[in-house]
A and B are shown apart, each in its own frame.
Chain A
Amino acid sequence: MQENVINHSKNITILEILDRVLNKGVVITGDIVISVADIDLVYVGLKLLLTSVETMREKRLAIVKPNQETK
């Protein structure tokens, strides 16, 4: 099997990783509950770390929303 992305994970931004591991996979709550608000806090923290308030207020640009066909 070929090497997977994890072998290069030092080059992967923490954002890319969090985007996968926080809300995807088996998202069942175990015995310890992490609330949605806690997860939001992570993103808020990331934003504070990476941006200034001014740049965050910049107008977001157009987003492509492709038509997804069900296969």
Chain B
Amino acid sequence: MARDLDIHSDRPVLELERVTKTFRAGRPILRGVSFSMRRGEFVFVTGPSGAGKSTLLRLLYRADEPDEGHLYFCGREIGRLREESVPFFRRNLGIVFQDFRNLVDRSVTENVAIALEVTDMPARTIRTRVEETLVAVGLGGRGGEEVRGLSGGEQQRVAIARALVTEPVLLLADEPTGNLDPQLAMDMVGLFEDLHARGTTVLFATHDRSLLAARPHRVLALEDGVVREMRPGPGPGEKAAPVVRLPNDSELRIAGTSRLPH
């Protein structure tokens, strides 16, 4: 699958066309959702609990299929993948959840290495990659520790390391700060931004709008099953400038962008 994907061209990493998903008849959770994401973008998807953020992400990693519409990942339609191709497609994604989904009776290294062990990668390469990734998420030298002994923030770092260790084309984060206190949540967003600054494309779903403040990223709001662009991000080749939050304004506004120097 990875070889079939056009992951180096300029085409969007992600494209959704009029995607609809219904669990209860007459009450679609997603209604004709359309948007696209460029390589290297950081996009927030926000909306209240139950707005369909997790459903949207589940469609993206093919845990569910849309009732209508199309989802394309690097030009390839996700819904048309054969069942046996889905695992290979998912190896292009890194996914982080609110509940961490760590194996708490195993070591940090084992929890991260599991993402590479499903491939044919040699054990020595896996060890090296895991160590490098743990350093990147601030857990350098702690690979031997059992996960159950770590704090919530550290456990989420383990989950992020696992999502990153495969060097995914796209990092999907489903409420990754939901189980963390506000300060840790801000730190975690900072970690995602660091990873983004190193070139990772990030789609970050959160209901917590306080996290979006002063973050110069594109924001998509999901309400009543419809997505609307709440704030555009910087254009291609542009560096995001800080967002200024206006007094008494709960909505976020664009402060502007500046072109990167050549």
Chains A and B bind each other: no
Residues of A within 8 A of B (CB): none
Residues of B within 8 A of A (CB): none
